[in-house]
Amino acid sequence: MSETGYTPLDPQTLPHRLGKVSAVVERVGDPSGWNVREIGDGNLNLVFVVSGAAGQVIVKQALPYVRLVGESWPLPLKRAFFEHNALSRQAARDPGSVPEVYYFNDTQALVVMEYLTDHVILRQSLMKGEMHEGLGGFLGRFCARTAFRGSDLHLNAATRKRDLALFADNIELCDITENLVFSDPYFAAEMNRHTPALDPVVTALRADRDMKVAAQHMKARFANNAETLLHGDLHTGSIMVKDDMARVIDPEFATYGPMGFDIGMLIANFLMAHCAQPGHLPDQAQRAAYQDWILDVVTDIWSGFAQEFTNLWRTERTGILYQATLFEDQNDALGTEQARIDRLCAIWQDMLGFCGIEMHRRILGLAHIAEFDQITDEALRAQCEARGLVLGRAVTIGRSTIRDMDTLKDLVRITTERDYL
Ligand code: SR1
Ligand code: MG
């Protein structure tokens, strides 16, 4: 055991360590019959499935370093505290959207939560060409409900300011995002890697002044615009699916930031899944149909977001912003609609700005995505990734001129049917 009392779990010690926690025993059964498997394949933590006579739970424990890199990159255990606090807020703001939490231990940096039977990580499902009914609507509503209900549009000012202060301490995970997402892709940072055949495109991108400036503008938006409590790492590896059911997991990067951030990262990951399909679905007709489905999901994410944001604007605008005393109470229905549309336009523009940058960092930075990495034919992988880089640039640079979803989808189609190497 360490000086602080923290000790990482392993499958052998876990039954002894958690076997007296009633919240766990109630759900799993007698610890003598527990079976424990470590299944963590993410970049940071330990994740165990604990099975017993009564059922199963997930035990997620933070390590004091970045798992992907090793002990040379220390990372505070307090991220489990932020994940726990974010999960409880998301559960209240969008009931049923996240796993239920059964137990939290701050010293051990662990969260015990619902095991989502037969669910898989969405990223895996996207590589197999599987479709999920209602996925885009679910994700769009999740983004809208968490964004709206975590902001000054809805919360009372004291609650929101206390929350802002609480999550402001998630410094080290914000630092990862600030560096790995917004800066490292645009210079030869030490931990970066990319497919060698991309060199000409990468050289051009890193010499692209407009792109570097745009990335720093978006970094400033992320760092300086504490609009709402973000999930902070909403990619397709942070979503679990089974048929038409979905849940959002892993909010350890939670922080206050701009409303367009989560939805921008999310849409980026769908657009990258689109770019990567030649490496996963060789049949051209099947691939085209699946890419269309991905774009339908992107459409549904945004329309689900905009509709739910509108609904909440009209029914739950109880915070200090755009107060009813200035609008509804003065029979100024047009004023409140004008303000709502302005806000949605600003979120749309931020969404596009963040989206393109996320595409770049997943191809050029430290943390890549399986959709590209698992394409074993290196020339094909480079072609797919080059389309992602070109599309990412077009989306971020074009954020003030891409006015609607049809324009965005046209841009995706035009960009991804060409070769850049
Ligand atoms: C060092 S952590 C790298 C990435 O993994 C997480 O999932 C976040 O996306 C982070 O940027
Ligand atoms: Mg994660």
Question: How many angstroms does the Cα of residue 367 sit away from the middle of ligand 1?
Answer: 6
pLDDT at 41: 86
Pairing of strands 228-230, 239-242: unpaired
Query: Which residues does ligand 1 sit against, CB inside 6 Å?
Result: 43-44, 66, 68, 176-177, 180, 233, 366-367
Closest residue to atom 8 of ligand 1, CA basis = 233
Q: Among 43, 354, 366, which residue has the most ligand 1 atoms within 8 Å of its CB, making it the best to mutate?
A: 43
- The three-class DSSP label of residue 50 is strand
Q: Whose Cα sits closest to atom 6 in ligand 1?
A: 43
Q: According to the model, what pLDDT value does residue 159 have?
A: 98
Q: How far is the CA of 120 from the centre of ligand 1 (A)?
A: 19
Pocket test for ligand 1, best of 72, 79, 176 (most atoms within 8 A of CB): 176
Strand order of the sheet with strand 239-242? 120-121, 239-242, 245-248
- Tell me the C-alpha distance between 60 and 249, whole Å: 11
pLDDT at 67: 95
- The whole-angstrom separation of Cα 123 and Cα 371 is 7
Give the pLDDT confidence score for residue 2 in this predicted structure: 60
Q: In the structure encoding, which two tokens stand for residue 119, read together?
A: 């669910």
Residue 177 Cα: closest atom of ligand 1: 11
Within a 10 A sphere around the Cβ of 78, how many other Cβ atoms? 17
- List, in sequence order, every beta strand (DSSP E) within 142-223: none
Asked whether the beta carbons of 57 and 28 are under 8 A apart, the reply is yes
Q: Can you list the residues of the chain whose pLDDT is less than 50? A: none
What are the structure tokens assigned to 67, written together?
């798992």
* Tokens representing residue 202 in the block: 């990468």
Q: How far apart, in whole angstroms, are the C-alpha atoms of residue 233 and residue 231?
A: 6
State whether residue 301 is helix, strand or coil: helix
- Written as six digits, the tokens of 33 are 């019959």
